[in-house]
Amino acid sequence: MARHGQQSTEFELIRRHFNRRQVLKSAAVGAGVAVAPMFGRLPGASAQGVTLKVLVPQGALADGLIKMAPKFTEETGNTIEVAAFPYESLQEKTVTLTQVQSPEFDMFFADDPWMPNIRPATSAVPLDAEYGYERDPDIFEVSYDVFSWPPPYGPVPESVREQNLEPHLYGLPVVGNVILFAIRQDVLEENGLEIPETWDDALAIAEAVYDPDAPFYGWTAREAGGNVDSIPILWSLGGDLLDEEFNVILDNEAGLRTFNMVNDLAKFGPEGMVTYQTNDFAADFLAGRAMMGLTWPGDTLVAMEDPEQSESAGKLHYMNSPAGEPGGKGASVLGNWGLVLNAASENRDASYEFMTWLTSKENSIEYARNGGIPFRRSDLENPELVEQFPWYPAQAEASAAPPKWRPRTVAGGEILELYGQGIQRMVGGEQTPEEALTQAADEMRQFMETVID
């Protein structure tokens, strides 16, 4: 995530425009499918024959949307035009769009930590107030809560509390991402070991199966660039970054226990793990040399379960994070994306129609088949999808727990980055766990003195 004041390298905009001629060529995609019901009632009939422009992240999220576009055009006569950017460029583009209240895009994908940055009370349409949208019980409550502003619970900056804003729903979930824990079931069975209930159990397993000569690693993780995949460990052990008043509380007993745990797990990981990125993490599982790790479903799991390229395919057990104590509950990190209706859009009604169409039960399952990450219970429990994507039951469990979201502040990215850099210094051997924890917390406190939103 880019720091405030920094500009990411601008990447070439990818536009994919679906017109009526392309739809006719793809008519088979939507053949025999009825128009999906709406949630809420439009104030007037949406226009037909309009082009709706959507700002999205590059990759699978854009691809899934693009594959659905011809069907929507066939059913409504409206065209979907997609503009896809790399993550950091997308964030900058989205924040700028909302700050200047530009009508360039009718809708935009927002990663859930961006909600404070886009200031939805002035830049987005409140879907509950304007359209009477009602929450669907098939969609996890937390996936609605995280796209509500102000958030219904959890700490928010004093500047937000002082505004006394009425909470509203500003985005519909389109990606149900949560961090999951993956572990080799077959290796557990071969060694007479049980699924870990706690992080102490996981550490004991990592040590028991570690064989640097094979090699076979008891643990692997992404650590490059101040990665924060270890946050579930912090939360499971009872720690946190901030309290309800936005005071830094990282450097307490739970925080030190977390840094010690991450450091101990790293002892049974590969050399050079401090520089590991997503591809490196996945490579250990693809080669069958990793026992366990924390990962996002959208990053690696499809490849890890592909028998043509993965030695771990069909051998992994997925679950929410292990707990901090026996009988406790593990924690996960929410990583949802939402589709937000731009308040400056000149095509509000048609855009809302598309949003409810895409997220409806009838179309969400097709969106999942086309590469989307499900956000509905019914899709995550669908036997056909579970057979193809065996981590879906664990994803449903973690989403229902519920997972926690990242700090609701415009500076959330910087706060997480300082935490991740502390972890990286420790794993790289530059500092002891206590030294890394103390520096990370001190830097967070110093930074928070400048944060008002």
> What pLDDT does residue 314 have?
98
**Is 94 part of a structural domain of the chain?**
yes
> What pLDDT does residue 7 have?
33
> What pLDDT does residue 31 have?
27
Q: Tell me, yes or no, whether 198 and 80 share the same domain.
A: no
> What pLDDT does residue 63 have?
83
Structure tokens at 429: 């051997």
Q: Tell me, yes or no, whether 74 and 116 share the same domain.
A: yes
**Is 1 part of a structural domain of the chain?**
no
Burial (CB < 10 A; 0-12, 13-18, 19+), residue 100, is exposed
| Dist CA 2 CA 133 (whole Å) | 34
How many domains does the chain fold into?
2
Q: Tell me, yes or no, whether 137 and 25 share the same domain.
A: yes
Q: Which domain-ending residue is among 400, 420, 435?
A: 400
**Is 146 part of a structural domain of the chain?**
yes
b or e along 122-159 (b: 16 or more beta carbons within 10 Å of the residue's beta carbon)? ebbbbbbebbebeebeebbebbbbbbbbbbeeebbbee
- CATH number of 248's domain: 3.40.190.10
Q: Tell me, yes or no, whether 417 and 440 share the same domain.
A: yes
> What pLDDT does residue 37 have?
32
Q: Which domain-ending residue is among 360, 375, 400?
A: 400
Structure tokens at 208: 């028991």
**Is 208 part of a structural domain of the chain?**
yes
Cα-Cα-Cα-Cα torsion 333, 335, 336, 341, nearest 10 degrees, comes to 120
Q: Tell me, yes or no, whether 45 and 159 share the same domain.
A: yes
> Average pLDDT in the 12-24 region?
28
Which pLDDT band, with edges at 50, 70 and 90, does 36 fall under? very low
As beta bridge partners, residue 404 has 333
Domain span including residue 221: 180-332+411-448
Q: Is the pTM of this model over 0.85?
A: yes
Q: Tell me, yes or no, whether 78 and 118 share the same domain.
A: yes
Q: What digits encode the pLDDT tens for the residues 329-376?
A: 999 999 999 999 999 999 999 999 999 999 999 999 998 888 789 999
**Is 8 part of a structural domain of the chain?**
no
